[in-house]
């Protein structure tokens, strides 16, 4: 099995806590994974469409989030252009995404830029995450940070994580967790800052964290403290986005678009495939079994030791009834007909296609239809039947 | 010596690699079982094999072509190629460094990250595999010490030591060029699958066969006659629009449960699948019917997890079918680190089938549909190449990469070929100059063939249903036979039930000691080739039912039947007296993949119209060489029997050679052939030449005409620029490609005692392309190769055993 070797990449990406030094506390799963999982859970819960990760580093979080079906725009921002360039390719669609496209469009863009600069392309987001970011900002940048992220970008939700310095005495080294950290806050310091910012920009904030302290040291709190900020009054105002001046200060380093069912070409591909597969399966089950007539093979193997593979879709009672009640496939001569209505009764196809008209128009030039267009026609026997 | 994969070449070249035509079949559909998406150095074995061939320098041993290997006859023709100049400064060099870490780091990713992150190297073009670093600019010091800090605060010292300075022509350098271009094509949003690059966002669909085709390119950088060239050809990746699970479900419906597992394994094992959650491809080596997605496996960290949970956690994929079995793939280790091969279990639901099953490949309609989609005219091909080049030159990322290496993508190469004179076809009483060398069936319609045995005692077996067609076919056959000089007497017609068993029973009952025979293919062929060697001809009733085609079909069948009885159809003028030509082809048996089917065909008369054919089944490469000796001895005996002397010259055309096998050929096969020749004569022995024939090669040639490009004329020879300096090689175009682009056939003379002038060697080869009796026209390879191919194909597909030697004097396999 391919196991992403995240652990070693984490060493260079500032997630040092999980790399044991001498007798260090070890988190399981590793702390950086816990942070990402936290964001991922949040995304699953709130289903944001547009998500940005500020200080995205090696884009690990973006890679984790891109599989989420609800996200349509995913943006990463970092000041390290090399890393974005180098890792960007890993965010491109997999080959499999072209064969089994997503439901919704997804665009992923990586920008080179600083989080304290305003770029209008990040306006109107549903979620902006700043995971282990603020402690890398010097005091000037830290002062400008709320103004840009909360005041200007003003997304519906902001997640900020930062080390909890109260936890540090449990680590062997007494200094900051990373040589680039400008500060590490206690819970009180972080919460004071967060409440002030929330108050100022009309957000509400809730505190939590990941990385449980070991038994006996519960009072130090989570190793990573997290603030979840929600904009009072709900959604980001999309209307005001267009009124703002376009301000493009970030440099787009990498951008990729995913194939999806929203794109005609891929929708057609998937629908035509599903239809021909369903027709094929109906056709085959319609064929008389020649081999039974020979009598040599018998009906079913008596050998119970042989694992009996039985797969294929499993339908609920409701689905079964729906299929039963739809027009049945039929034969005329050596032609086999499957009414489109029948096809629409199958959940997979029903999910793709709302009605017969739509199905007809999409598949018409790829799959032969009956003269009145109400059914798919195929030869009752094909090349492969002769092979078995 | 450095420890990069490349340096292991010498070590691995000795391991005889078995399995040649398999690879070429795969290539046709762009399939390869290596991983996509991995970084540079660690390329697949196949790539290494290419480079292995480059080590073999045969031309320096051939005195008569050491100075000049080009011919001179024919009309010069200007040709455009699919090769492009790569321009770089004259003194361009590649610097190879070795990098060590202190403390030593095991993780390749970390090693790469630290090196790439260092400011000293950040603006330099580099290729690095964790150990070996290649730069196009020399570092100031021979040994550079850098230190980098992991974010964890640990200081790591990196020592970069200069190992070698490589000129642009060195094999290592060529490999790095290939790596650079792979990187660049990825920047053009193309995906590497196997060795080629594809663009999945512009698929072409063949819905009726549930196939998608991804357009793409095969690219490579190699050192040709005098310089480094970039070559590109259009390639398509065939994908099935279904997951393995869907395929299995459909198959289960068809076969029923009883023979499902067996059929399923037969269909799937050996195919390459693409997984949904990464860009990797895997070869299916087995199916484990006992493991389900709900079972657990051990992760690298030792914990147990179910497949279902694993895919959920790792890729956020929910497996819906919990009853599916597991596909098993043997992971090929990319780096030779002595660890045992690992098995990967793959979920059928998450795997897409690539390429075609054998069954699909045998479906004529399907293959026709694929061919129609993928066929490209010369101008269409040229347009696609231009598109790629345009993309390479315009895309900023691609250009940036090239420029940092100091490279510049140059112009398309044009060169001059020669069209050798056309050949006259010698019939019994007529010499004809065909209007087109592509097809002279019309030209010879009224001519008598060279010689024919008359068909006296024979049977037609047919079903009741087809009796009428069989009769009208018989009439036609007699008529056309008469005009070509082939006497066909009335046969005994036997009507049968339509099933294989009945046919074979009838054959067994009716074929007397001296009957010859006409009319389920495999079983009949098997019986009549092995147990009871009698020439036979199978005809599908469907073929005979084609309206208005009866006469031409009868003509074709009459010719085939003549050959099967030992007749000769036509000849060309062969200026060399006492020349034996030999064709050898090798392919794998369709049933048992570890068996190699070796087909050998040798001419036994100076006119090159009669042949001695044998097919031998072998298991290893050295055995192949051994059986060539057995064959050659037999062929020379035959020649002696007919001509009362040994041939003065022997020219062997060897097809079915895989990448990286040249050395094996030179070290094993050529010596065996030589010893069989030496042993058959006490005094002066025949002089031998061995030519490797390849139908698949990278270069394409077009002629420019009226501002558009076209296929070059038949008989075009290219023996400069697109050839390799260290080889005595040439390209010959001897086939027509209707609406598509013609592929030249590549000839590499690896051994040559005959000392024929290159001109004569080329023209002789061209002449031999006229002598395939199954087609009244030119073919892409010399006739003995095609005969050998046809023979191995029949044995590999239908017979699976060595055909009876009694048939060796007849072209029974046509």
B697 min Cα distance to partner chain A (Å): 27
Whether the predicted pLDDT of A291 surpasses 50:
no
Lowest mean pLDDT among A97-106, A189-198, B199-208, B578-587: B199-208
Residues A91 and A46 reside in one and the same domain: yes
Residues A276 and A352 reside in one and the same domain: yes
A238 min Cα distance to partner chain B (Å): 30
CATH topology assigned to domain B574-696+750-807 = Nucleotidyltransferase; domain 5 (3.30.420)
A272 min Cα distance to partner chain B (Å): 7
CB burial class (10 A; 0-12, 13-18, 19+) of residue B763? buried
Q: Please give the span between the terminal C-alpha atoms of chain A, in angstroms, as a whole number.
A: 35
Is the ipTM beyond the 0.85 threshold?
no
Under an 8 A CB cutoff, do A95 and B149 touch?
no
CB burial class (10 A; 0-12, 13-18, 19+) of residue B675? middle
Q: What is the mean pLDDT of chain A?
A: 82
Specify the pLDDT at position B332. Answer: 65
Contacts of A57 in chain B (CB under 8 A): none
For the stretch B396-453, pLDDT in tens is: 888 888 888 888 888 999 999 999 999 999 998 888 898 888 888 888 888 889 998 8
A1 min Cα distance to partner chain B (Å): 6
The closest of B632, B654, B651, B687 to B763, measured between CA atoms, is: B651
Specify the pLDDT at position B14. Answer: 27
> Which residue in chain B has the smallest CA separation from A280?
B250
A285 min Cα distance to partner chain B (Å): 6
Under an 8 A CB cutoff, do B107 and A366 touch?
no
Distance, in Å, from the CA atom of B273 to the CA atom of B240, rounded to the nearest integer, reads: 10
Band (B41; pLDDT cuts 50, 70, 90): very low
Distance, in Å, from the CA atom of B671 to the CA atom of A168, rounded to the nearest integer, reads: 75
Q: Could you give the 3-state DSSP secondary structure of residue B258?
A: coil
Residue A48 lies inside a defined structural domain of this protein:
yes
Contacts of A306 in chain B (CB under 8 A): 261, 289
Band (A366; pLDDT cuts 50, 70, 90): confident
Q: How many CA atoms lie within 13 A of B613 on its CB side?
A: 31
Architecture per CATH, domain B191-378, reads as Beta Complex (2.170)
For the stretch B611-645, pLDDT in tens is: 999 999 988 767 787 889 999 999 999 999 999 99
SS3 helix, strand, coil % of chain B, rounded to 5?
35, 25, 40
> Which residue in chain B has the smallest CA separation from A363?
B207
Query: What residues make up the domain containing A49?
Result: 31-258
Lowest mean pLDDT among A99-108, B36-45, B99-108, B802-811: B36-45
For the stretch B672-682, pLDDT in tens is: 999 999 988 77
Contacts of B354 in chain A (CB under 8 A): none
Task: State phi, psi for A186 to the nearest 5 degrees.
Answer: -80, 170
Residue A243 lies inside a defined structural domain of this protein:
yes
Specify the pLDDT at position B108. Answer: 82
For the stretch A243-289, pLDDT in tens is: 556 788 999 988 999 999 999 989 998 999 889 888 888 887 777 65
Residue A388 lies inside a defined structural domain of this protein:
no
Residues A205 and A142 reside in one and the same domain: yes
Q: Please tell me which of the candidates B109, B325, B365 has its beta carbon nearest to residue A9.
A: B109
Q: What is the mean pLDDT of chain B?
A: 83
Residues A191 and A275 reside in one and the same domain: no
Q: Are strands B281-283 and B408-419 parallel, antiparallel or unpaired?
A: unpaired
Residue A109 lies inside a defined structural domain of this protein:
yes
Lowest mean pLDDT among A82-91, B162-171, B278-287, B501-510: B501-510
Look at chain A and count its residues: 388
Residues A183 and A281 reside in one and the same domain: no
Higher pLDDT, A221 or B27: A221
Distance, in Å, from the CA atom of B192 to the CA atom of B187, rounded to the nearest integer, reads: 11
Mean pLDDT across A66-75: 92
Band (A135; pLDDT cuts 50, 70, 90): very high
Unique residue bearing structure tokens 């050798």: B420
Residue of B153, B277, B300, B345 best to disrupt the A interface, most CBs of A under 10 A = B153
Under an 8 A CB cutoff, do B110 and A387 touch?
no
Mean pLDDT across B571-582: 94
Residues A205 and A272 reside in one and the same domain: no
Specify the pLDDT at position A317. Answer: 85
B282 min Cα distance to partner chain A (Å): 12
Band (B707; pLDDT cuts 50, 70, 90): confident
Residue A351 lies inside a defined structural domain of this protein:
yes
Specify the pLDDT at position B557. Answer: 86
Classify the C-alpha dihedral B168-B171-B175-B181 as positive or negative: positive
Q: Distance of alpha carbon B513 from its chain centroid, rounded?
A: 41
Under an 8 A CB cutoff, do A280 and B122 touch?
no
> Which residue in chain B has the smallest CA separation from A18?
B152
Distance, in Å, from the CA atom of A300 to the CA atom of B260, rounded to the nearest integer, reads: 11
Residue of B207, B308, B318 best to disrupt the A interface, most CBs of A under 10 A = B207
**Domains identified in chain A, total number:** 2
CATH code: domain B452-565 is 3.40.50.2300
For the stretch B369-401, pLDDT in tens is: 888 888 899 999 999 999 999 999 888 888 888
Specify the pLDDT at position B11. Answer: 27
Mean pLDDT across A288-311: 45
> Which residue in chain A has the smallest CA separation from B199?
A95
Distance, in Å, from the CA atom of B546 to the CA atom of B594, rounded to the nearest integer, reads: 40
Whether the predicted pLDDT of B5 surpasses 80:
no
Under an 8 A CB cutoff, do A309 and B260 touch?
yes
Contacts of B310 in chain A (CB under 8 A): 1
* Token pair listed for B304: 């147990």
Contacts of A291 in chain B (CB under 8 A): 256, 258
Residue A101 lies inside a defined structural domain of this protein:
yes
The H or E element spanning position B105 is none
DSSP codes, B610-650: -EEEEEEEESSHHHHHHHHHHHHHHHHHHHHHHHSS--SEE
The H or E element spanning position B147 is strand B143-149
Under an 8 A CB cutoff, do A272 and B207 touch?
yes
Specify the pLDDT at position B92. Answer: 86
Under an 8 A CB cutoff, do B153 and A179 touch?
yes
Interface A:B, Cβ pairs < 8 A:
174
B437 min Cα distance to partner chain A (Å): 36
Q: Please tell me which of the candidates A67, A366, A384 has its beta carbon nearest to residue B207.
A: A366
Lowest mean pLDDT among A33-47, A194-208, B350-364: B350-364
Distance, in Å, from the CA atom of B725 to the CA atom of B224, rounded to the nearest integer, reads: 7
Band (A10; pLDDT cuts 50, 70, 90): very low
Residues near B734 by Cβ (< 8 Å), separated by ≥ 6?
Answer: B714, B715, B745, B766, B769, B778, B779, B780, B781
Specify the pLDDT at position A301. Answer: 42
Band (B529; pLDDT cuts 50, 70, 90): low
The Cα angle at residue B454 between residues B453 and B456, in degrees rounded to 5:
135
Residues A112 and A226 reside in one and the same domain: yes
Band (A354; pLDDT cuts 50, 70, 90): confident
Under an 8 A CB cutoff, do A385 and B254 touch?
yes
Band (B511; pLDDT cuts 50, 70, 90): low
Q: Please tell me which of the candidates B256, B260, B277 has its beta carbon nearest to residue A94.
A: B277
Residues A205 and A274 reside in one and the same domain: no
Mean pLDDT across B106-119: 81
Whether the predicted pLDDT of B12 surpasses 50:
no
Whether the predicted pLDDT of B297 surpasses 70:
yes
Whether the predicted pLDDT of B749 surpasses 90:
yes
Higher pLDDT, B110 or B81: B81
For the stretch B62-71, pLDDT in tens is: 999 999 999 9
Higher pLDDT, B441 or A302: B441
With contact defined as beta carbons under 8 Å apart, do B781 and B771 qualify? no
Whether the predicted pLDDT of A25 surpasses 80:
no
CATH of the domain at A163: 3.40.50.150
DSSP codes, B445-478: TTSPPSB---B-SEEEEEEGGGHHHHHHHHHHHH
Distance, in Å, from the CA atom of B185 to the CA atom of B177, rounded to the nearest integer, reads: 12
Residue A298 lies inside a defined structural domain of this protein:
no
Q: How many CA atoms lie within 13 A of A362 on its CB side?
A: 25
Residues A64 and A184 reside in one and the same domain: yes
For the stretch B199-238, pLDDT in tens is: 998 888 888 788 889 999 999 998 899 888 999 999 999 9
Under an 8 A CB cutoff, do A384 and B363 touch?
yes
Band (B650; pLDDT cuts 50, 70, 90): very high
Residues A181 and A282 reside in one and the same domain: no
Contacts of B290 in chain A (CB under 8 A): 307
Classify the C-alpha dihedral B60-B63-B68-B74 as positive or negative: negative
Residues A38 and A164 reside in one and the same domain: yes
Residues A247 and A345 reside in one and the same domain: no
């Amino acid at each position: 099995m391919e196991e992403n070797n995240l652990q070693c990449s984490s060493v260079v990406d500032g997630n040092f806590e999980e790399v044991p030094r001498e007798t260090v506390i070890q988190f399981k799963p590793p702390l950086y994974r816990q942070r990402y999982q936290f964001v991922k859970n949040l995304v699953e819960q709130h289903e944001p469409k547009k998500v940005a990760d500020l200080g995205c580093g090696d884009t690990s979080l973006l890679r984790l989030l891109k599989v989420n079906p609800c996200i349509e725009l995913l943006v990463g921002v970092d000041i390290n252009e090399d890393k974005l360039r180098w890792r960007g390719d890993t965010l491109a669609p997999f080959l499999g995404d072209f064969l089994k496209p997503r439901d919704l469009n997804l665009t992923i863009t990586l920008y080179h830029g600083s989080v304290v600069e305003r770029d209008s392309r990040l306006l109107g987001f549903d979620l902006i995450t700043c995971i282990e970011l603020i402690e890398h900002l010097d005091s000037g940048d830290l002062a400008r940070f709320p103004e840009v992220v909360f005041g200007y970008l003003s997304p519906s939700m902001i997640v900020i994580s930062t080390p909890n310095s109260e936890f540090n005495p449990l680590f062997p080294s007494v200094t900051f967790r990373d040589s680039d950290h400008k500060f590490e806050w206690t819970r009180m310091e972080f919460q004071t800052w967060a409440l002030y910012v929330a108050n100022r920009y009309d957000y509400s904030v809730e505190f939590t964290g990941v990385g449980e302290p070991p038994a006996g040291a519960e009072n130090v709190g989570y190793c990573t403290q997290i603030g979840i900020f929600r904009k009072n009054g709900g959604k980001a105002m999309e209307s005001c986005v267009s009124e703002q001046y376009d301000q493009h200060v970030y440099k787009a380093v990498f951008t990729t678009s995913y194939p999806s069912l929203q794109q005609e070409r891929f929708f057609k591909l998937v629908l035509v495939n599903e239809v021909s597969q369903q027709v094929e399966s109906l056709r085959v089950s319609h064929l008389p079994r020649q081999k039974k007539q020979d009598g040599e093979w018998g009906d079913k193997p008596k050998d119970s030791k042989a694992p009996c593979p039985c797969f294929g879709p499993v339908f609920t009672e409701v689905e079964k009834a729906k299929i039963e009640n739809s027009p049945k496939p039929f034969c005329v001569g050596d032609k086999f007909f499957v009414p489109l209505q029948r096809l629409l009764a199958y959940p997979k196809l029903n999910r793709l296609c709302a009605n017969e008209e739509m199905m007809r128009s999409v598949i018409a030039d790829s799959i032969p239809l009956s003269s009145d267009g109400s059914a798919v026609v195929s030869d009752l026997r094909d090349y492969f039947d002769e092979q078995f | 010596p450095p420890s990069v994969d490349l340096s292991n070449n010498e070590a691995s070249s000795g391991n005889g690699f078995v399995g040649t035509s398999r690879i070429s079949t795969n290539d046709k559909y762009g399939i390869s079982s290596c991983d996509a998406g991995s970084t540079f150095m660690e390329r697949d074995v196949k790539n290494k094999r290419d480079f292995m061939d480059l080590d073999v320098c045969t031309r320096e041993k051939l005195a008569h072509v050491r100075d000049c290997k080009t011919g001179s006859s024919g009309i010069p023709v200007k040709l455009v190629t699919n090769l492009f100049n790569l321009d770089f400064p004259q003194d361009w060099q590649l610097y190879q460094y070795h990098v060590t870490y202190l403390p030593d780091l095991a993780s390749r990713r970390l090693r790469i990250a630290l090196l790439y992150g260092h400011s000293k190297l950040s603006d330099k073009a580099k290729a690095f595999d964790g150990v070996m670093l290649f730069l196009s600019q020399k570092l100031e010091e021979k040994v550079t010490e850098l230190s980098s800090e992991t974010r964890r605060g640990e200081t790591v010292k990196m020592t970069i030591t200069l190992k070698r300075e490589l000129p642009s022509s060195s094999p290592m350098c060529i490999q790095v060029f290939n790596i650079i271009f792979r990187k660049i094509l990825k920047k053009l949003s193309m995906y590497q699958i196997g060795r080629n690059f594809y663009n999945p966002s512009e698929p072409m669909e063949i819905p009726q066969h549930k196939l998608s085709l991804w357009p793409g390119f095969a690219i490579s950088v190699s050192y040709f006659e005098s310089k480094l060239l970039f070559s590109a050809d259009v390639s398509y990746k065939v994908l099935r629009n279904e997951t393995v699970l869907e395929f299995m479900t459909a198959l289960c419906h068809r076969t029923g449960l009883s023979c499902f597992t067996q059929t399923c394994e037969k269909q799937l094992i050996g195919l390459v699948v693409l997984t949904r959650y990464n860009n990797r491809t895997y070869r299916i080596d087995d199916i484990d019917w006992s493991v389900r997605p709900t079972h657990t496996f051990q992760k690298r960290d030792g914990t147990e997890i179910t497949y279902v949970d694993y895919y959920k956690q790792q890729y956020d994929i929910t497996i819906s079918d919990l009853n599916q079995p597991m596909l098993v793939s043997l992971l090929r280790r990319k780096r030779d680190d002595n660890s045992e091969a690992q098995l990967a279990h793959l979920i059928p639901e998450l795997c897409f089938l690539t390429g075609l099953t054998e069954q699909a490949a045998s479906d004529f309609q399907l293959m026709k549909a694929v061919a129609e989609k993928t066929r490209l005219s010369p101008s269409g091909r040229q347009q696609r190449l231009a598109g790629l080049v345009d993309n390479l030159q315009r895309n900023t990322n691609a250009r940036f990469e090239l420029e940092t290496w100091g490279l510049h993508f140059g112009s398309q190469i044009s060169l001059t070929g020669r069209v050798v004179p056309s050949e006259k076809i010698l019939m019994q009483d007529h010499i004809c100059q065909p209007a087109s060398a592509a097809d002279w069936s019309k030209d010879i319609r009224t001519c008598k063939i060279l010689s024919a045995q008359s068909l006296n005692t024979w049977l037609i077996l047919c079903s009741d249903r087809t009796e009428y067609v069989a009769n009208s076919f018989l009439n036609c056959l007699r008529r056309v036979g008469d005009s070509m000089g082939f006497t066909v007497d009335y046969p005994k017609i036997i009507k049968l039930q339509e099933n294989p068993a009945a046919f074979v029973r009838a054959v067994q009952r009716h074929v007397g000691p001296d009957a010859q025979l006409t009319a389920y293919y495999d079983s009949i062929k098997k019986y009549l080739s092995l147990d009871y060697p009698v020439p036979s001809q199978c005809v599908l009733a469907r073929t005979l039912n084609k309206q208005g085609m009866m006469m031409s079909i009868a003509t074709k069948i009459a010719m085939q039947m003549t050959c099967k009885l030992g007749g000769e159809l036509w000849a060309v003028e062969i200026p060399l007296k006492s020349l034996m030509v030999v064709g050898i082809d090798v392919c794998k048996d369709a049933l048992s993949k570890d068996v190699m089917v070796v087909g050998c065909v040798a001419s036994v008369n100076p006119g090159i119209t009669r042949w001695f054919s044998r097919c031998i089944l072998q298991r290893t490469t050295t055995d192949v060489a051994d059986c060539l000796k057995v064959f050659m001895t037999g062929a020379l005996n035959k020649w002696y029997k007919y001509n009362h002397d040994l041939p003065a010259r022997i020219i062997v055309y060897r097809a079915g050679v895989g990448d990286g096998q040249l050395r094996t050929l030179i070290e094993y096969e050529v010596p065996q052939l030589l010893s069989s020749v030496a042993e058959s004569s006490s005094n002066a022995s025949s002089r031998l030449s061995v030519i490797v024939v390849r139908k698949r090669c990278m270069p394409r040639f077009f002629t420019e005409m009226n501002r558009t490009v076209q296929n070059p004329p038949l008989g075009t020879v290219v023996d400069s620029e697109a050839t390799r300096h260290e080889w005595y090689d040439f390209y010959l175009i001897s086939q027509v490609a209707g609406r598509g682009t013609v592929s030249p056939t590549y000839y590499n003379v690896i051994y040559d005692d005959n000392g024929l002038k290159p001109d004569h060697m080329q023209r002789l080869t061209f002449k031999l392309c006229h002598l395939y009796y199954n087609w009244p026209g030119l073919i892409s390879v010399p006739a003995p190769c095609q005969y050998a191919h046809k023979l191995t194909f029949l044995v590999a597909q239908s017979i699976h055993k060595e055909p009876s030697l009694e048939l060796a004097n007849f072209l029974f396999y046509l």
